[in-house]
Amino acid sequence: MSGVGRRTPLAVALMAALALMAAVAVEVLLGVPQPASASGDPNAVRPDDRRLAYEGHWGRTAEAATTVNSGSRLRFRFTGDSVHALFDVASITVPAQIYESVDGGPKRLHAVDRSDLEITADGRGPHSLEISVKDVFSRANRWTPPLQTGVVLTGLRLDDGGHLLHQPARSARKLAFYGDSITQGVMALCEANTSDCADGTEAYPTLVADALRASLTQVGFGRQGVIQTGNGGVPAAPDAYGWNHAGSRAESDRRADVIVVNQGTNDAAYGSDEFRGAYRVYLDQLRAAAPHARILALRPFNGAHADDITAVVGELADPRIEFVDTTDWLSSAAGDFNGTVHPSTHGHRKVADRLIALLEKGL
């Protein structure tokens, strides 16, 4: 049998090495900045490096990228057998939970309870890595620094000879979801109000954004309403809007295509007049921040203040603000809840399917 066209193991290895060198060379030729740090460590990458693609609310400086929101994500590409994600956990008493997935492989769960998390890959790459925040516990301080919970990324450390590569933008379409513990994914997996039972990546905002291949901002705070303050020191929605956490301004929603609001469940104790005034202030904030966005005001799944939300949307008479009637979307008899108000993963899937159908025509 002729050996023409066959590749020996050495030839395959050489071709892989050449491909890797070519990928790095392209980054240099395109002028993409190479890893740098204040310490001068050539393997260190600062958290504000432009090749790191963040989604959601992250407060970013040269020292740290901080998020207190389940569902926030980070993607990047690198070469090497592994990469170390570095965290500041000095003030953390209730570690956040994250998933990491290399090259689209299975999600691996970690508690952010250490300053150095090694993430391994198969071969020298190039590789892609996604880190997604499963849960930031809602009942610990996650608003006023020093934070007791949250993800505080201080940078990356690459293998010797490893490189960080340019990360193409995932999508030009931008979706933002604002709400309470339901939006956060609390109790999505089971009936206890713990991080183990919560999963923001299984909640409907992530499911909708992934189905529509859109960039995602997912902000949910347990117990929060438009009047009711949230757990963990979080203010009511109008006062929290525009902030990652206390002292850290959030990125503007000006370029958002769609904003989905699910508030009111935790405001049941307040009267209609008080609620309507606060809800209108909140929608006015969203419209001022995102003049061209389509805003969907959801009826809370338990029906709280449904008539008030309908009335406020009608009074605003903004053709780009819509009341979305969620009546009969979920059913306790169908296993759509864990507990009384929190959707199960099955329930989140049903909500996501409804929203996907509603949004597909407008994106």
* Residue 49's CATH number: 2.60.120.260
Q: Does any domain span residue 292? A: yes
If asked whether residues 186 and 49 sit together in one domain, one would say: no
**Residue where a domain terminates, one of 165, 195, 223:** 165
Side chain identity at residue 69, one-letter code: N
Return the exposure string of 131-170: e unless at least 16 CB atoms fall within 10 Å of the residue's CB, then b. Answer: bbbbbbbbbbbbbebebbbbbbbbbbbbbeebbbbebeee
Q: Are strands 174-179 and 258-262 parallel, antiparallel or unpaired?
A: parallel
Q: Does any domain span residue 293? A: yes
Q: Express each pLDDT in 202-232 by its tens digit.
A: 999 999 999 999 999 999 999 999 999 999 9
If asked whether residues 124 and 259 sit together in one domain, one would say: no
Q: Does any domain span residue 119? A: yes
Does residue 177 have a pLDDT over 80? Answer: yes
If asked whether residues 196 and 335 sit together in one domain, one would say: yes
If asked whether residues 101 and 204 sit together in one domain, one would say: no
Q: Does any domain span residue 35? A: no
Does residue 40 have a pLDDT over 80? Answer: no
Residue 64 and residue 61: Cα distance in Å, rounded? Answer: 5
Per-residue confidence (pLDDT) for residue 9, from 0 to 100: 44
Per-residue confidence (pLDDT) for residue 7, from 0 to 100: 45
Per-residue confidence (pLDDT) for residue 363, from 0 to 100: 66
Q: Does any domain span residue 18? A: no
Average pLDDT value for the chain? 91
Per-residue confidence (pLDDT) for residue 14, from 0 to 100: 42
Residue with the two structure tokens 């003049």: 291
Q: Does any domain span residue 27? A: no
Name the residue range of residue 146's domain. 44-165
If asked whether residues 78 and 138 sit together in one domain, one would say: yes
The CATH number linked to 297 is: 3.40.50.1110
If asked whether residues 148 and 233 sit together in one domain, one would say: no
If asked whether residues 239 and 356 sit together in one domain, one would say: yes
- Percentage of the chain beyond pLDDT 70 is 88
User: Confidence class of residue 39 from pLDDT cuts 50, 70 and 90?
Assistant: low
If asked whether residues 219 and 131 sit together in one domain, one would say: no
If asked whether residues 297 and 218 sit together in one domain, one would say: yes
Does residue 323 have a pLDDT over 50? Answer: yes
- Average pLDDT of the residues in 266-285: 98
CB of 110 within 8 A of CB of 175? no
Q: Express each pLDDT in 110-158 by its tens digit.
A: 999 999 999 999 999 999 999 999 999 999 999 999 999 999 999 999 9
Per-residue confidence (pLDDT) for residue 12, from 0 to 100: 37
Number of domains into which the chain is organized: 2
- Percentage of the chain beyond pLDDT 90 is 86
User: Confidence class of residue 272 from pLDDT cuts 50, 70 and 90?
Assistant: very high
Does residue 196 have a pLDDT over 60? Answer: yes
Per-residue confidence (pLDDT) for residue 23, from 0 to 100: 45
User: Confidence class of residue 167 from pLDDT cuts 50, 70 and 90?
Assistant: confident
Q: Express each pLDDT in 221-261 by its tens digit.
A: 999 999 999 999 999 999 999 999 999 999 999 999 999 99
**Residue where a domain terminates, one of 124, 140, 165:** 165
Q: Does any domain span residue 13? A: no
Does residue 28 have a pLDDT over 90? Answer: no
Does residue 271 have a pLDDT over 80? Answer: yes
If asked whether residues 245 and 142 sit together in one domain, one would say: no
Does residue 35 have a pLDDT over 60? Answer: no
Per-residue confidence (pLDDT) for residue 276, from 0 to 100: 98
If asked whether residues 207 and 315 sit together in one domain, one would say: yes
**Residue where a domain terminates, one of 165, 198, 223:** 165
Per-residue confidence (pLDDT) for residue 20, from 0 to 100: 45
If asked whether residues 131 and 213 sit together in one domain, one would say: no
Q: Does any domain span residue 20? A: no
